[in-house]
Structure 1
Amino acid sequence: MSIEPGTTPAPAPAPGPSDAAAPAHGSRIHGCLLGGALGDSLGYAVEFDDISAIRARFGPAGLQEFSALDAGSPFSDDTQMTLYTADGLLEALEWANDGVAADLNACLWLAYLRWLGTQGVAVPTSAPFQPPRWIDGQEVLKHRRAPGNACLSGLATGEMGTVQRPVNPGSKGCGTVMRSAPFGLIPHLEPETVYKFSADAASLTHGHPAARQSAGVFSLVIHALSAGLGLREAAESALGHLHGGVLRKGEDPDADVVARLEAALRLAGDLPGTGGILSPENLVSELGEGWVAEEALAVALYAVLATAPETGAEPDTSAGAGAGEAHFRAAIPVAVNHSGDSDSTASIAGNILGAYYGEQCLPAGWLAALEAPEVIRGMASRLAAVTGS
């Protein structure tokens, strides 16, 4: 799908008197990208550890804080690819603003190919050449941080994967979900458009329906939050769209995607009044380890919804930074401390919370420990500027 001149998103409206406490859209963009990077960084420290090893290293409660990491923790390929997703979107919007129609998925493919080159993998000679952009000059993004095999192999083919001509047709790894938050940050798009952008981009590397459906649902969650919906309302709305019409003709909702996401909502909804959070063992038993797309999204959604203030009630953005920061500090450790893909599940949770509360929810001490925040802010500022935020 191309982005045509004159059809670029209108500027996000300024908060009116009735929603003055709601974060500005630019704050949501910064919060989403920075929040995802914080979750990614904390989780990356234990990504390949099971829960017994995490407890042995950090105590019974597991890893709760950046202060427990003496040497800090860098962000991983999750944040790298999220920023390259944002750059692909940014390029398409820049072309459109200049009056030139842009093929969004081609812009994203070229952005991901430039990311591939940062990972020590030769970009296929059959791929079109693209001049470097601002993001390509950021040295911190040129480290190899356990990138997903399907992301690497799908791009290394030199073929632009599509739904009709899939690469890695059997792969549904979480590499699609963890990079897809930026699609939900473009204001004033119809949900069907957000879903299509996200699902088509997922198909560049992963061919299984669960991979693109999970990515599309995640982008719809971010889109709904950016439009002012509450956390549970946004999750239910996104799942409703999956049932109700965003899929291509002839495609049914993947049964595993539906089952995992419905389980996450049910388990989080059962918590009010119980005062309990699933143990890491039960979390994995119920929702999975997060290595595949639908499990990563389910774990992240559960972590966010189950730790919401008022024992599961919708958090109130008007309560100020304190409530949002407390929620962020509570949710991210739930997404981190389990035997599974801790950086991806926590990255997705951080994206969700940052998009909901805006930048105000991010703990200052955590931001101080974050690797290269100026690079993430630089991309967020560029995306905010091109969307008029």
Structure 2
Amino acid sequence: MGATTGAVWGRAEQQDFRGRVRGTLLGVALGDALGAPVDGLGIDAIREAHGADGVVDPVPAYGRRGAVTHLTQLTLFTVDGLIRAQVRRDTGIWHPPTDLHRAYLRWAATQRDWGPDERRKDDGWLAREEWLYARRDPTRALLLGLADETMGTLEAPKNPGESGPQAAARSAPFGLLVGWEPLLVAQLAVECAAQTHGHPNACLAAGAYAVIVHGLARGESLEGAVQYALALLASRPGHQAVSDALQYALAAARPGSPTPERVAEMSASGTAEGVLAAAVYCALAGEDVRHGLRLAVNHEGPSAPTGAMAGGLLGALYGETALPPAWLAELEGRPTILELADDFAMEMTQGAALHSPSGASPGWLARYPRGT
């Protein structure tokens, strides 16, 4: 697997990219946190608990406002894996799915262990963040898929019947590889989805989501990015369910005011393609970031995955400055998210100055060890 390299970044381009990276990761976390308290509830139960408009601002989950779920945790480990893949490339070893799998295994360790193990020197700094060791309702498919060191592949996927949205919901960071061709972005997301969610629809939804984020991170409109993802999907066997869901989302976003019922038409099945379509619909139909995220969590379907995916889209589209400051102030793990986002932006724009086959910054290698 290869990628385009050698891009020259001006200061304004670096700042814009950094803002979109921050926006994407914070957006995922905000949508996840907004949806976490009502995930699994029907719209009537949501309204009974939170009023006629449902959840309009963060409310407590896991003992605090702004708490995130395993979806944000895995998104952060996706970023960590992508940086590590770039660093390991200096060794002549270039297989990003393997580096992502190792990152996901580090996440799986956080779900088993009480806290960081200082003896594991190759874990890097993210795995030493104690707040990530909170177990936030990881699904059975995730835990089974990462229960051993065998990596699922497209030829031999883990959980081949699992079509849930969790793999897609961790895939926004693939779209931030703006120096890569979209086809390669999609392929990487698809291959990494197969490590836990082997159903073709789950894998293709992850690829489509990554390509949409990729378009947004490069300055395209949301509708244009979706149309491009549809064009890429058309060449993939078995794409019809994902393509149909995205086409429906585009058509539904045009007429009339958005409603929870319209979101539920797409998301209530709980499938990856349904949640992806609902997230796209909410990002398109929402008047602003707040409205889009409120739409994404107040409905009959899975609130946290829909919110996380819609947040990733809105954050990539508008950047960090468009996100609600009051919501960000209460967001769990915000300093970690910002630190990781800035590291990713630095790696993608200035990586050659940080490491090369002939040498590397000791500080950078301490943060992102090459490993074996």
Q: Show the counterpart of 2:56.
A: 64
Tell whether 2:253 aligns with 1:261.
Answer: no
Cα distance, 1:101 vs structure 2:
2.9
Distance in 2 between the 1:297 and 1:350 partners? 12
Question: Pick from 282, 292, 316: which aligns with 2:271?
Answer: 292
CA contact (8 A) 1:40 1:347 kept: yes
**What are structure 1's unaligned runs of at least 5 residues?**
17-21, 123-128, 309-326
Give secondary structure in 2 for the equivalent of 1:164.
coil
> CA 1:67–1:194 in 2, change beyond 3 Å: closer, same or farther?
same
**Residue pair 1:33, 1:354 contacting (<8 A) in 2 also:** yes
Letter in 1 for 2:282: A
Counterpart residue identity of residue 247, structure 2: E
Q: Whole-Å Cα distance in 1 between the matches of residues 148 and 91 of structure 2?
A: 32
Which letter does structure 1 place at the counterpart of 2:205?
Answer: S
Q: How does 1:235-384 map to 2 (within 5 A)?
A: 235-243=226-234, 245=235, 247=236, 251-253=237-239, 255-271=240-256, 276-278=257-259, 280-284=260-264, 286-289=265-268, 291-308=270-287, 327-384=288-345
- Maintained 8 Å contact 2:34/2:59: no
Candidates 141, 146, 166, aligned match of 1:150: 141
Q: Is the 8 A contact 1:77 1:147 kept in 2?
A: yes
Residue identity in the other structure for 1:117:
A
- Secondary structure of 1:229's aligned partner: coil
- Say how many residue pairs are matched: 344
Is the Cα–Cα contact under 8 Å of residues 31 and 311 in structure 2 kept in the other structure? yes
Post-superposition Cα deviations, 1:143-202, rounded to whole Å, max 9, x if no partner, equal: 111112111111114321000111111111111110000001012211111011110100
The 1:11–1:146 alpha-carbon spacing in structure 2 relative to 1, beyond 3 Å, is farther
Q: Distance in 2 between matches of 1:38 and 1:342?
A: 12
In structure 1, the partner of 2:130 is 139
Structure 1 residues 23, 133: CA separation in 2 closer, same or farther (over 3 Å shift)?
closer
Distance verdict in 2 for CA 1:240–1:2, change over 3 Å: closer
Residue 10, structure 1, aligned to residue 3, structure 2: no
Q: Secondary structure at the match of 1:366?
A: helix
Aligned to 2:358: none
Gaps of 5+ in 2: 115-119, 351-372
Cα shift at 1:23: 6.7
Give the 3-state SS of the residue equivalent to 2:112 in structure 1.
coil
Q: Give distance in 1, aligned partners of 2:121 and 2:157.
A: 23
Which amino acid letter does the alignment assign opposite residue 185 of structure 2?
V
CA distance 1:230–1:332, shift in 2 (3 Å) = same
Given that 1:109 and 1:160 are in contact with CA atoms closer than 8 Å, whether structure 2 keeps it comes out as: yes
Q: Distance in 2 between matches of 1:9 and 1:48?
A: 46
Which amino acid is the alignment partner of residue 298 of structure 1? Answer: A
Match of 2:151 in 1: 160
Counterpart-to-counterpart distance in 1, 2:18 and 2:8: 10
Q: 1:99 to 1:68 in 2, by over 3 A?
A: closer
**Aligned-residue offset at 1:8:** 4.6
Shift of 1:119: 0.9
For residues 233 and 23 of structure 1, the distance between their equivalents in structure 2, rounded to whole angstroms, comes to: 23
Alignment correspondent of 1:323: none
The equivalent of 2:174 in structure 1 is 183
Corresponding residue number in structure 2 for 1:118: 110
Task: Specify the code of the residue in structure 1 equivalent to 2:258.
Answer: I
Give the secondary-structure state (helix, strand or coil) at the position aligned to 2:159. Answer: coil
* Contact residue 290 and residue 345 of structure 1 kept, 8 A: no
Q: Distance in 2 between matches of 1:139 and 1:289?
A: 34
Return the match for 1:38 from 30, 35, 41: 30
Question: Any idea what the Cα deviations from partners look like across 1:30-72, whole Å, max 9, x if unmatched?
Answer: 0000111011001001112111111011111100112688941
Show the counterpart of 1:103: 95
Aligned pair in 2 of structure 1 residues 13, 355: CA closer, same or farther (>3 Å)?
Answer: farther
Q: Any idea what SS the aligned residue of 1:156 has?
A: coil
Amino acid aligned to 1:135: L
Q: Is the 8 A contact 2:293 2:307 kept in 1?
A: yes
**Whole-angstrom CA distance in 2 between matches of 1:11 and 1:68:** 44
1:87 aligns with 2:67: no
- 1:209 equivalenced with 2:200 (yes/no): yes
Q: Give the TM-score taking structure 2 as reference length.
A: 0.87
Which residue type is aligned with residue 131 of structure 1?
D
What is the alpha-carbon distance in structure 2 between the residues aligned to residue 238 and residue 12 of structure 1? 26
Distance change >3 Å, CA 295–CA 121, structure 1 → 2? farther
